[in-house]
Structure 1
């Protein structure tokens, strides 16, 4: 890492940088919408393309798998070829892949298009975050910019179901993909005039073996964790996860011996950098464990439609927006460790309230608890992300941004896998001895598997017996949700302690730290190409 000092203040961003930030929010909206609108489109596209069950799963999952797998590669590639250039290439490719998905004539074609969307989508997140790091050098401005970056994504996820519902009510299922095209065109038109170019002047050669190893580490690990969450403990996903971990160890060892590594593992010697990535990993793990169960509770226990469930998620998005935007200002008054720990302590209360949700009167309490948990967690997301990208020299911003995003993807996978597995285990344990003896064996077996299976199996029973099965299954699912809430509270309590210990030396935002800001020499080492210009 470069020599660090605090001798000179960093230049403040001007009007052009803030306009550029508005442009950088465009791809975030597209990625957020793509994560949520497809769930609503699945029934229509399934009726049209008639995918098998396996094909339908790949249509849903391959996008996220490949985003996670290619984040590290794309972040480092942006450091080499230029972050604006990579962003524009990714935006153009994403628009073309969206059209391919919208007009797919077969399940195989749609799966291929979703795969392309995942690969091109992996260029967007690290590019936008790395450009923010380079455009906003002054710490207090950078933290506000990152807060806007985070809230934009949260807003997109929240309004996705509403936007999807409106589109599907008026157009065909492909319209949810076409939506990305005009937004990406606007980005391509505006970026050359509003975004400067940055690249590492001496990046070294791209190590393609490291690229292969990174894919061999991330893809089987994410896939294995997701399969463990969906189908329980089994040899194949467990071995895949293990293979991913082994590939990860080999990847790290290789990076240590390279002059121009794909990931500079020396960055992990910075305690703030490592602590911030850890907070992101486990904070996202905790909240996504709940988010995995949240819509299922609303739809299968409370009986809401997908659109209605989406409306109930809006308060959580508003809580995230408020918590995220308050975080950088709070961290100017008190140390980031205190803001993060205080927010995490608030979220503990939200998770504890989730342990009190019941199947008969739970929607108000669950949404309220979710609002408290998300509000408390939001400062962690903003300030930890700021610590990650702010702890590295500007020339390493792409790689750091990719590591931040990869940590989030792993946190999401772990949240679904660990919390989902726990919830399923609680459900099956409670259902094991709770079903009436006169329930047919085949129906009983389905009812003991998952809540969705129980609801489907209830159609085969007389009304009174079906009601008993549904009520029992809903109570068992809620018990699993309660246990996950307790685990989330324990996890967040640990993060309170972790942030106070590992980030205790970090000063208030805007206050120089001994090992915080890069020197002007390091900043100037970055190649900057301002003005207009295309790819």
Structure 2
């Protein structure tokens, strides 16, 4: 009697590890990440030159800044879903081509109205770039350990762009005209267009649902009014228009969710949010970006307007923190193999809280060395936490829905960036306005400008006699730093809240 081994067992498959081609593809996919994140901060340096050249109204200047993130945030989910349907590489190439072409048009826009229109179209094509890059990483790096490393590098690229924006913006405006900040896209995206078809294979959902135009419109009507309302509340305070905009966005969001739950093949599978690993990681991403962008908002002003550093030198102070963010994102990969994600993320965010605590203990009146050390701690924690949380988002979602899942992660990034500036920035502005003491003898226009922002006070001081200028600057800088101290304390609370959320929401997720 002979026995034979059973043959009906399913074979155990090992994910294929990426080779040199996969890592080269990662380098190419980093290009749009760097571009979009640089674009978030570089424009601020060109605004004075744009104002002088195109002479937009105050409302026009606001729309030049705001229309891009409004359109971008509103279309991220729709474009992520489109990538799942027609191909993520295809959407990436379409977005890169359009973004490069419209960037040239924006650089040479003859009027403020045309520049606003160009920025809106840039938001449309920009929404195609970020979800495609993150979702393609899943198809390129099927081995989870390799994917963690790749996502660590991807996340560091986003942080790198945010920190490099002030440096790049300062250099460009110092040597060229305002349009150069838009032309920056062309040399970045041309290599992407050439190399992506050679290095990155196409990937998409093998069984996509029908095109859902109402859901696309609802996603836009959800995100754009909310982003607009938050920005308006930060700039102008409580008013009917921003409150109404936020309510419209919330109502549209409720209809969007209801529609997704009822459709057999939804544009965004809302059931993903029932998974603690997915929803918890998304909220952690949101809070982390709020803290990071809020920190960059006040630190860049403190370095330049309080300590008197030129933009490039101020940017250099941030480089050690940027490097630490990249290194910590890479070093956390072997740790994440052995420890629960919740523990790793919570530990990282507690380190970031220590960075904010350094600023809070100084009352906001920090030296550049203290700010450097604080950003190193902040970067170390966020670099580690973002790597693990982004990997959880991609790994938890089904492979065929990677584009939509990536879009949710990117929406959290964009909303976090808006909230970081709006909430933490508005606290600083409110504290500044309450604490500023203006010297006697200022004209009405000078008093309004100096009492509104630190930048306005510095500008007004340039036209005053030495004694009055020194008095105004001392009062303005003290008022600004008092707001920084309050904001830093809130930053500590945000980081600790995110750490607690990681321990609770991810408590059942194993290493």
TM over 0.5, shorter chain: yes
Matched, 1:486 2:489: yes
Aligned to 2:350: 345
Partner Cα separation in structure 1 for residue 66 and residue 130 of structure 2 = 18
Following superposition, the deviation at residue 396 of structure 1 comes to: 0.4
Aligned to 1:323: 328
- Normalising by structure 2, we get a TM-score of 0.92
Following superposition, the deviation at residue 23 of structure 1 comes to: 1.5
Aligned to 2:22: 17
Following superposition, the deviation at residue 236 of structure 1 comes to: 1.5
Q: 2:455 aligns with which of 443, 452, 456?
A: 452
Partner Cα separation in structure 2 for residue 466 and residue 160 of structure 1 = 30
Aligned to 2:160: 155
Partner Cα separation in structure 1 for residue 260 and residue 132 of structure 2 = 22
Following superposition, the deviation at residue 283 of structure 1 comes to: 1.6
Partner Cα separation in structure 2 for residue 164 and residue 476 of structure 1 = 27
Matched, 1:391 2:396: yes
Larger mean Cα displacement after TM superposition, 397-406 or 496-505: 496-505
Q: Deviations over 1:288-326 (max 9, x none)?
A: 222221212122211222222222222221121122122
Partner Cα separation in structure 1 for residue 466 and residue 173 of structure 2 = 33
Aligned to 2:61: 56
Aligned to 1:501: 504
Decide whether aligned partners of structure 1 residues 182 and 453 sit closer, same or farther in structure 2, where only a CA change above 3 A counts: closer
The alignment partner of 1:137 has SS state of coil
Larger mean Cα displacement after TM superposition, 209-218 or 231-240: 231-240
Partner Cα separation in structure 1 for residue 34 and residue 149 of structure 2 = 18
Give aligned pairs, total: 502
Q: Is the 8 A contact 2:171 2:312 kept in 1?
A: no
Aligned to 1:530: none
Larger mean Cα displacement after TM superposition, 413-422 or 337-346: 413-422
Following superposition, the deviation at residue 368 of structure 1 comes to: 1.6
Aligned to 2:47: 42
Matched, 1:78 2:83: yes
Matched, 1:175 2:180: yes
Aligned to 2:135: 130
Matched, 1:475 2:478: yes
Decide whether aligned partners of structure 1 residues 168 and 55 sit closer, same or farther in structure 2, where only a CA change above 3 A counts: same
Following superposition, the deviation at residue 332 of structure 1 comes to: 1.9
Partner Cα separation in structure 1 for residue 447 and residue 45 of structure 2 = 30
Following superposition, the deviation at residue 459 of structure 1 comes to: 5.0
Partner Cα separation in structure 1 for residue 257 and residue 503 of structure 2 = 28
Partner Cα separation in structure 1 for residue 395 and residue 385 of structure 2 = 15
Aligned to 1:529: none
Partner Cα separation in structure 1 for residue 118 and residue 157 of structure 2 = 25
Following superposition, the deviation at residue 170 of structure 1 comes to: 4.4
Larger mean Cα displacement after TM superposition, 459-468 or 344-353: 459-468
Partner Cα separation in structure 1 for residue 438 and residue 190 of structure 2 = 56
Partner Cα separation in structure 1 for residue 140 and residue 390 of structure 2 = 16
Larger mean Cα displacement after TM superposition, 369-378 or 39-48: 39-48
Decide whether aligned partners of structure 1 residues 418 and 43 sit closer, same or farther in structure 2, where only a CA change above 3 A counts: closer
- Normalising by structure 1, we get a TM-score of 0.88
Q: 1:412 aligns with which of 417, 435, 447?
A: 417
Decide whether aligned partners of structure 1 residues 258 and 185 sit closer, same or farther in structure 2, where only a CA change above 3 A counts: same
Greater RCO (CA < 8 Å, at least 6 residues apart): 1
The alignment partner of 1:12 has SS state of coil
Partner Cα separation in structure 1 for residue 365 and residue 26 of structure 2 = 45
Following superposition, the deviation at residue 230 of structure 1 comes to: 1.9
Partner Cα separation in structure 2 for residue 343 and residue 329 of structure 1 = 14
Q: 2:430 aligns with which of 425, 428, 437?
A: 425
Q: Deviations over 1:17-36 (max 9, x none)?
A: 22211221122222233233
Partner Cα separation in structure 2 for residue 162 and residue 57 of structure 1 = 23
Partner Cα separation in structure 2 for residue 336 and residue 194 of structure 1 = 31
Structure 1: gaps spanning 5 or more residues? 509-535
Alignment of 1:59-458 (within 5 A): 59-357=64-362, 362-431=367-436, 434-435=437-438, 444-458=447-461
Q: Is the 8 A contact 2:364 2:484 kept in 1?
A: no
Decide whether aligned partners of structure 1 residues 277 and 7 sit closer, same or farther in structure 2, where only a CA change above 3 A counts: farther
Decide whether aligned partners of structure 1 residues 428 and 216 sit closer, same or farther in structure 2, where only a CA change above 3 A counts: same
Decide whether aligned partners of structure 1 residues 117 and 440 sit closer, same or farther in structure 2, where only a CA change above 3 A counts: closer
Partner Cα separation in structure 1 for residue 98 and residue 463 of structure 2 = 48
The alignment partner of 1:198 has SS state of coil
Structure 2: gaps spanning 5 or more residues? 1-9
Q: Deviations over 1:154-191 (max 9, x none)?
A: 22333334344444454433233223223322212211
Following superposition, the deviation at residue 111 of structure 1 comes to: 1.6
Partner Cα separation in structure 2 for residue 176 and residue 460 of structure 1 = 29
Larger mean Cα displacement after TM superposition, 333-342 or 251-260: 333-342
Q: Is the 8 A contact 1:287 1:488 kept in 2?
A: no
Q: Deviations over 1:418-477 (max 9, x none)?
A: 21222223223323xx55677677655544433233334445654323322221221111
Q: Is the 8 A contact 1:91 1:188 kept in 2?
A: yes
